[in-house]
Structure 1
Amino acid sequence: MKVIFYATDRTENSAPVLRYAYELSSKLGAQLVVFNTHEMDPIRVMVSRPPEQIEYHVLEEQKEILATYCGKHLKGGLEGKNIKFEVVSSDSITEGIVENSKNLTADMVIIGRKDKHTERGLFVGDIGKSLVEKLSCPLMIVPNSGSNPIKKILYATDFMEADIAAIKKLVPLANVLDAKIHVVHISTEKEYAGKEQMEWFKDMLQQKVSYAKIDFKLVFSDHIEAELKNQVEQLGADLLVLLQREEKGFLNKLFHTSMVKKLEGHIPTPLLSFNQSNL
């Protein structure tokens, strides 16, 4: 992993997410790109300088403000830290994140979880769903309170081949962090051959992924969201990983309408989303 792209609204309440993003990038040996969008004021026709020149200087000034913000909230300031700052003018914050993270070949995008203190529209509505569908890399949504270092990862599987590809991409991150991956499938009582499917999936995964710190668990429940929250709490997971998939499966429900919103509000753990189309 070479580049982690963190989009911030530059508020005091999002400072813990900045620190989390920096600590994670440091452990992974990646550069942290701190990104912000700026809403340009209308430029009057009578000004003497070309609009492009004015915009350039405004964005450079905003970049300095962003650097000052980061220096204030990161221990020891910016000295010796592998951080880059990007500020752009964009009509759509979502599109700004998608376009610029792609231009910088980001390996992961991090955003803070929305809360009542957020002043702008960055984390309002289903932005997590919107971004995970458009990004060319995984998306991590982090609580604005920050979180613990990643040592326990819960991967919620639906026994799809795409899950194996996602876990294969997850393993290098887990390996660097010396974290254990707990693969969990939540099965309804009516689901046929859940245990047999788990054994099949386990065998397939072990053929394609070599990582000693993986275990498997099958749980029966008709209440997917509640049970997922329960499993996160029981395990003490530091990261919940989901796959935005194209096939129909129970985890598809997690990304329909308000489900991401519910998960964000009720699971106080960072959420990492892979998009099947990018695996």
Structure 2
Amino acid sequence: AAYGNCGSRAVVLGMSKILFATDLGDAGESAFSFLLPLADALRAKIWLLHVEHIPATEIQVSGGMLEEVMQHRHKAALEGLYQLKMEIAEYAFQNNTIIESDHILSSGLVAEEIVHAADNLHPDFIVVGAGMNKGFPAFISGDIATTLIKKSHTTLLIVPQKEELPSKGKIVFATGWDKGDDLVIQQLAAYARQLQEELVVLHIDQSDAEKTNALRDYMQTNFASEMEHGKVALVISSNEDITEGIAAYVRNNGVRILAAGHHHHRFELFHRHIAAGLAHAVDVPLMVFQV
């Protein structure tokens, strides 16, 4: 992988970082626009990543021809990355702020290169754009998203391709209240404070009183003050279909980001397929935490 101006030396532990993986095409435009105010509010450095994918058919091309093609792609990709960096600088100038940025240009299998970059950089999360006008379905069922959700240890933010995405709204965490969800709530509470948004912890009750009561107790013990002042809310709803219950809440409540956990250790439908299920049901940015 080829790093930008500062190279890997720019990696500083403890510094907020967001990795934006882009194909430099239309699919990433909505994600990029959504990312800028997010990075500003979170005081995060943006790492731009573009992967030059080499299809197997092109490997058959004679060495000299392939090298020429790759040189052309490399030049075009660098120009695209520098253009994005200029747009970041322009946004920062217009909003009287500072957003640091750098880039990585690599070649190989896209999902694997994204995972590799995330493992090296340790970003707060990865941002990717959905590839179809309808939002998630075509993208989420593809190899890239599937691989990222299954193999990456990093939180993933998937942004649908829409002309307008909410710049304000609730941060909603859909939880089945399982191991690790408390840490996700703490992280999202920190994001919500920085974004000056309300955090809603949404639990779809399926007649499991023990879990519901445990979640209530946790929230009251840890977020009583925030709940009293309207900064954090616990919403418990009943629906036989968990995904539809979450989607119904999202449709009716002005959501900026929907978050969910991908539980590697669980086997129920809710935990194994929540990302894909929600991706088909909602058209707001979806943040998937690896739990």
TM-score, L = length of structure 2: 0.76
In structure 2, list runs of 5 or more residues that go unmatched. Answer: 1-14
2:8 maps to none
Kept in 2, the 8 Å contact 1:9–1:122? The answer is no
1:86 maps to 104
- Classify 1:249/1:169 alpha carbon distance in 2 versus 1 (closer, same or farther; 3 Å): farther
Kept in 2, the 8 Å contact 1:151–1:177? The answer is no
1:8-30 C-alpha deviation (Å, 9 max, x unpaired): 12113431211111221122111
Partner amino acid, structure 2, of 1:131: L
In structure 1, list runs of 5 or more residues that go unmatched. Answer: none
Kept in 2, the 8 Å contact 1:59–1:88? The answer is no
1:137-157 C-alpha deviation (Å, 9 max, x unpaired): 211011111521254111112
- The 5 Å alignment of 1:113-132 reads 113-115=130-132, 124-125=141-142, 127-132=144-149
- Classify 1:194/1:219 alpha carbon distance in 2 versus 1 (closer, same or farther; 3 Å): farther
Kept in 1, the 8 Å contact 2:20–2:49? The answer is yes
- The 5 Å alignment of 1:66-77 reads 66-68=81-83, 71=86, 76=90
- SS for the counterpart of 2:200 is strand
Partner amino acid, structure 1, of 2:245: E
Kept in 1, the 8 Å contact 2:275–2:288? The answer is no
Is residue 2:283 matched to residue 1:272?
A: no
Q: CA deviation at 1:33?
A: 1.3
2:49 maps to 35
- Classify 1:85/1:78 alpha carbon distance in 2 versus 1 (closer, same or farther; 3 Å): farther
Hey, what's the Cα distance between the residues in 1 that align with 2:212 and 2:49?
A: 45
Partner amino acid, structure 2, of 1:28: L
Q: CA deviation at 1:56?
A: 8.0
- Classify 1:104/1:55 alpha carbon distance in 2 versus 1 (closer, same or farther; 3 Å): farther
Q: Normalized per residue, which structure has more helix?
A: 2
Match of 1:97 among 114, 129, 139: 114
Kept in 1, the 8 Å contact 2:17–2:47? The answer is yes
1:123-176 C-alpha deviation (Å, 9 max, x unpaired): 652643431332232110111115212541111122224111111122221111
Kept in 2, the 8 Å contact 1:17–1:112? The answer is yes
Match of 2:31 among 14, 17, 22: 17
Alignment: residue pair count? 263
Kept in 2, the 8 Å contact 1:155–1:184? The answer is yes
Hey, what's the Cα distance between the residues in 2 that align with 1:152 and 1:129?
A: 26
